[in-house]
Amino acid sequence: MSGHSKWNNIKRKKEGADAARAKIFARIGKEIAIAVRDGGANPESNNRLRDVIAKAKANNVPNDNINRMLQKASGADTADYFSMTYEGYGPGGVAVIVDTLTDNKNRTASDVRHHFDKYGGNMGATGCVSWQFSQKGVIVIDGEELDEDEVMMEAIDAGADDFSAEDGIFEIYTSPEDFTAVSAALEEKGYTFISAEIAMVPANYVKLTEEKDIKNMEKMLEVLEDCDDVQNIWHNWDND
């Protein structure tokens, strides 16, 4: 089976995780707060919360921390937080989607637009690039010491739609609806995830050849990730 994503595009969001541990925890805490606000604190009846908890575990957030986040979210005032998504093109025509959670939409829109413009991109209207992506559950496993066929069969049995292996990395794809069940089944099998989340997976990729475009794209992603309001960045840059 062939995959629809590349590990490097997911890995880009995990680089420097040790140095950015507090920021990762803060972002996940915010996602948990919004999920609890919108659907309650019981993950058994709140699919979005279950998915965020799976993402938290994949990011090595300890259970004690997750429980504290849930307790805090249950009493938090999150009424002023809005989920906003911005789309546009980076240098060389790379499609970029930026997910945010913000208490000030004007500030966030201005910041995101500024970063697009500064590094040779342009922010567009809603839908201008999202048609190039599909929402999928993506589970990434370090397969260096695992049997590829065995993992693939167990993933398929658990309900996965697709599987790919490259350079010792296994990528498992699910529908958004099946993501929680598949990740839970694989956890029960004893697998440890490098990453597990609902992702925007591009249908195709853009290869940058100009050194200026490459440097601008790297810098644009870096400054966007440093924004407190930014939760996720999805793109179709083939940055092998």
The parts of the chain modelled with pLDDT lower than 70 are 1-20, 76-79, 240
E strand residue ranges, the chain:
82-89, 95-102, 122-124, 133-142, 162-166, 169-174, 193-202, 230-235
Rg value, the chain, Cα: 18
pLDDT of residue 80: 76
Contacts of 79 (CB under 8 A, 6+ apart): 37
pLDDT of residue 78: 67
First to last CA, the chain: 21
Domain boundaries defined on the chain: 11-75
pLDDT of residue 130: 96
- The Cα–Cα gap between 139 and 226 comes to 24
Q: The domain at 11-75 falls in which architecture?
A: Orthogonal Bundle (1.10)
Paired strand residues for 142: 169
Query: And the tokens for 92?
Result: 């060389």
The length of the chain, given as a count of residues: 240
Which of 93, 122, 116, 48 lies closest to 202 in space, CA to CA? 93
pLDDT of residue 61: 87
pLDDT tens track for 193-235? 988 889 999 999 999 999 999 999 999 999 998 898 999 999 9
